Amino acid sequence: MRIGELSKRTGVAVPTIKYYLREGLLPPGERTSPNQARYDDGHVQRLRLVRALIDVGGLSVAKVQEILATVDSPDDDIDKRLGAMQRAVLPALPVSTHPEMQDAAEQEILAMIRDLGWRHEGRHPAVTALGALLVTAQTLGHTRFLDHVRRYAAIMETIGVVDLDYLAGHTELDQVLESVVVGTVLGDSALLALRRLAQTNESAKRYPRLAAAEDVEVGCDPDE
Amino acid sequence: MRIGELSKRTGVAVPTIKYYLREGLLPPGERTSPNQARYDDGHVQRLRLVRALIDVGGLSVAKVQEILATVDSPDDDIDKRLGAMQRAVLPALPVSTHPEMQDAAEQEILAMIRDLGWRHEGRHPAVTALGALLVTAQTLGHTRFLDHVRRYAAIMETIGVVDLDYLAGHTELDQVLESVVVGTVLGDSALLALRRLAQTNESAKRYPRLAAAEDVEVGCDPDE
């Protein structure tokens, strides 16, 4: 198909498609004349993926470039490619505001992981992130935050099972790689949206008076 | 204390503190002379909260202004203030790339919420967000995404319980409001970091060969 048809099928404007072509987010079409190229269904799918990552996942063009480079890598080492992709779609790490407290906090997180019996290799970036969150909570005087994270962790263990089931449903390598990207980016957003709904539900169950008031999603009732 | 001491106690540079004062993120100190003001422990706590939201939560200064305006509002209606705050700390909503498919997707999400027996009022922004995610997954050909979200939802119900327990531990109104902010912002980051660790754990259990390879966090093994 021509670029106009590609635009029509995906809803992405032609100048935007040209921009993605220049930035390498979309592989070039097959050149049919000096000024024209032909695109195929692979371009349609790739364009939809790019839009999903940018519009829905909120990723930057640079981040999408990094992720797609891993998807497109000719490297046969699937382990390496999956690892690189996982790192590329990691959410921005929180910055520790108190570096001198960071190490002790990470030790607490590692002890929690040990208590859970979770397998892990080396110092995962998520441990650094959780350490930074714990330090922040501590400096704010929220001393119960670690217990809160422990309760979260016990629940999130099952999310890991659901996530791996999702990947296991795909057999083609390209599909597996795309599923990691889609499952991670869309899954993060879905979890946070579900958290809000779960809070609303639990709040309505605990505080029926608040639930009757409009506009309240999470509440507690200091009068009772 | 003087501004220098406030800077020392919080680790925030004096010019940054002055910027926050101008932007209203920090209430003015008590003026002691035309060029000097005195600050108290309330300023220390507020400054730490501002840094947590910006550095760790990744929120913009404008977003923090919006949240703090609710915390500081003289409005006695706690329901209204909690509702406004919940909305202010909502993550950015994904933009639907296919508006014509959005309504049907939201109906699917509402049906899921009904099946779960969750209480909710009206059209929650999270329903719109989940609808947009579902549309995106559908256009990418990921037809199993809704089942995936259903499995997530059943798990996230317990996260709502944990979150409301966290709030219930505070009795002072100021503490409750601050806990909503801290619990929501730090909690979102904590959940996503725990998701990565839970994936690593589950992946290592399922695919021991991959777990032995360095740098791999989530994997599947197409050779087996």
> Chain B, 143-202: which have a CB under 8 Å from a chain A CB?
144-145, 148-149, 151-153, 155-171, 173, 176, 178-180, 182-183, 186-202
> Which pLDDT value is given to residue A4?
95
Write out chain B residues lying below 8 Å of A162, CB-based: 148, 151-152, 155
Q: Is the pLDDT of residue B69 over 90?
A: no
The confidence band for B224, taking pLDDT boundaries of 50, 70 and 90, is very low
CATH architecture of B3-56: Orthogonal Bundle (1.10)
**Ranges in chain A, pLDDT < 50:** 213-224
> Chain B, 192-211: which have a CB under 8 Å from a chain A CB?
192-206, 210-211
Least CB-CB distance to A163: which of B79, B95, B199? Answer: B199
Q: Tokens for A16, please give them.
A: 């935007």
3-state secondary structure of B136: helix
Span B200-219, average pLDDT = 64
| Angle of CA points B39, B40, B42, to nearest 5° | 120
**Which residues have C-beta within 8 Å of that of residue A117, sequence separation ≥ 6?**
none
CB contact under 8 A, B160 and A189: no
> Which pLDDT value is given to residue B223?
42
Where do you find CATH 1.10.1660.10 in chain B? 3-56
A142, A181 Cβ separation under 8 angstroms: no
> Which pLDDT value is given to residue A16?
95
| Average pLDDT value over all residues in chain B | 84
In this structure, the number of other CB atoms found within 10 A of the CB of residue B97 comes to 20
Q: Which is more confident, B21 or B88?
A: B21
DSSP-H helix ranges across B52-144: 61-72, 78-88, 99-116, 125-139
A160, B202 Cβ separation under 8 angstroms: yes
d(CA B126, CA B94): 10
Express each pLDDT in B19-47 by its tens digit: 999 999 999 999 999 889 999 999 999 99
- Burial code (b: 16+ CB inside 10 Å, e: under 16) for B127-139 equals bbbbbbbbbbbbb
> Which pLDDT value is given to residue A92?
65
Express each pLDDT in A73-117 by its tens digit: 777 666 667 677 777 776 666 666 678 899 999 999 999 999 999
Span B82-108, average pLDDT = 78
Query: Please, how many CA atoms are within 13 Å of residue A220, restricted to the half-sphere of its CB?
Result: 20
- Mutation for testing the B interface, residue in A79, A110, A135 having most B CBs under 10 Å: A79
> Which pLDDT value is given to residue B118?
94
Q: Which is more confident, A185 or B158?
A: B158
Write out chain A residues lying below 8 Å of B113, CB-based: 197
CB contact under 8 A, A155 and B155: yes
> Which pLDDT value is given to residue B114?
94
The ipTM estimated for the assembled molecules is 0.83
CB contact under 8 A, A136 and B80: no
Q: Is the pLDDT of residue B139 over 70?
A: yes
B180, A85 Cβ separation under 8 angstroms: no
> Which pLDDT value is given to residue A76?
66
**Nearest-by-CA chain B residue for A89:** B196
**Nearest-by-CA chain A residue for B56:** A94
Q: How far is B171 from chain A (nearest CA, A)?
A: 7
| Interchain contact A13–B (C-beta under 8 A) | no
> Which pLDDT value is given to residue B215?
43
**Nearest-by-CA chain B residue for A47:** B140
Mapping DSSP onto H, E and C, the string for A19-50 reads HHHHHCCCCCCEEEECCEEECCHHHHHHHHHH
Q: Tokens for A82, please give them.
A: 């999956």
Least CB-CB distance to A79: which of B161, B169, B213? Answer: B213
| Angle of CA points A198, A203, A205, to nearest 5° | 100
- For residue B33, what are the β-bridge partners? B36
Q: Tokens for A125, please give them.
A: 């970036």
> Which pLDDT value is given to residue A215?
44
B195, A159 Cβ separation under 8 angstroms: yes
